[in-house]
A = this chain, B = another copy of it.
């Protein structure tokens, strides 16, 4: 169902401007290339506001934020809005410190995001102004299960209405929703949580997919989440054969994204629409 979306990314090679943390920035750059996009990183205000104008989308990822880059995020986000470029927010660790939480709120006030992606703890912080985020991983108490799924879906739809952003909550079950329609995606593999950066990478892939599919950001975001999950599954199959560990898994994950095609979607997508 996402064949055209994939094709658009590969044909248009969207240029994605990332203001992102220095922990996973290299993975973000390489997965953008792997998925059919092209990355550019710029985080100085004087540079970034201009750079974003030659790009097709903007990623704001608040991991390793500082006062200088926060100012850049705000100005560049506004500029992306003026240019109607999709802006995607990754509120890494929102809830874990006041600076991260406050910055998330400020960004939400001043920038209109096309998509907000986080784990359930981060998204709860986005919604409530308080959270129980344990570092950059979701708190176990927040875990999305089949049992509380309906509740979380209602929460995500409501938040989407409030923010006018597509909400993406990733975990064992991924939720992609606007205020009306929700995609539940059950692709992926638990090994993805054993390497740094899968969340950051996915956020950037969402931005590339949205940039190449301006008419339908919801489907684009869902396709990106599904693509990342499929890549995670393909990588795991390879890992088992190679008897490798976590670092090999990271390599295979980006490899899989670089080779992903329509048939992978047809054969492997585990998507439910509600």
- Residues of chain A touching chain B, judged by Cβ–Cβ distance below 8 Å, are 15, 21-27, 29-30, 33-34, 38-44, 46-47, 50-51, 54-55, 63-68, 93, 96-100, 134-137, 194-197, 244-248, 250-259
Bound-state Cα–Cα, A269 to B65, Å: 41
Bound-state Cα–Cα, A76 to B51, Å: 26
Of all A-B residue pairs in the complex, the 6 with the closest CB atoms, nearest first, are: A245-B255, A247-B254, A245-B258, A29-B196, A44-B66, A246-B258
The answer to whether A26 and B194 touch across the interface, beta carbons within 8 angstroms, is no
- 15 other A-B residue contacts (CB within 8 Å) besides A44-B66, A245-B254, A251-B251: A15-B135, A23-B39, A29-B197, A33-B195, A33-B246, A42-B64, A42-B97, A44-B67, A47-B65, A50-B97, A51-B135, A54-B96, A245-B258, A247-B254, A247-B258
Identical subunits present: 3
The answer to whether A99 and B22 touch across the interface, beta carbons within 8 angstroms, is no
| A29 surroundings in chain B (CB, below 8 A) | 23-24, 196-197
Bound-state Cα–Cα, A64 to B26, Å: 12
The answer to whether B34 and A245 touch across the interface, beta carbons within 8 angstroms, is yes
| A34 surroundings in chain B (CB, below 8 A) | 194, 245-247
Bound-state Cα–Cα, A230 to B66, Å: 38
| A54 surroundings in chain B (CB, below 8 A) | 96, 134-135
The answer to whether A50 and B98 touch across the interface, beta carbons within 8 angstroms, is yes
| A24 surroundings in chain B (CB, below 8 A) | 26, 29
| A256 surroundings in chain B (CB, below 8 A) | 245
A247's nearest neighbour on chain B, judged by CB, is: B254
The answer to whether A194 and B40 touch across the interface, beta carbons within 8 angstroms, is no
Residue of B44, B67, B136, B250 touching A40 (CB-CB under 8 A): B136
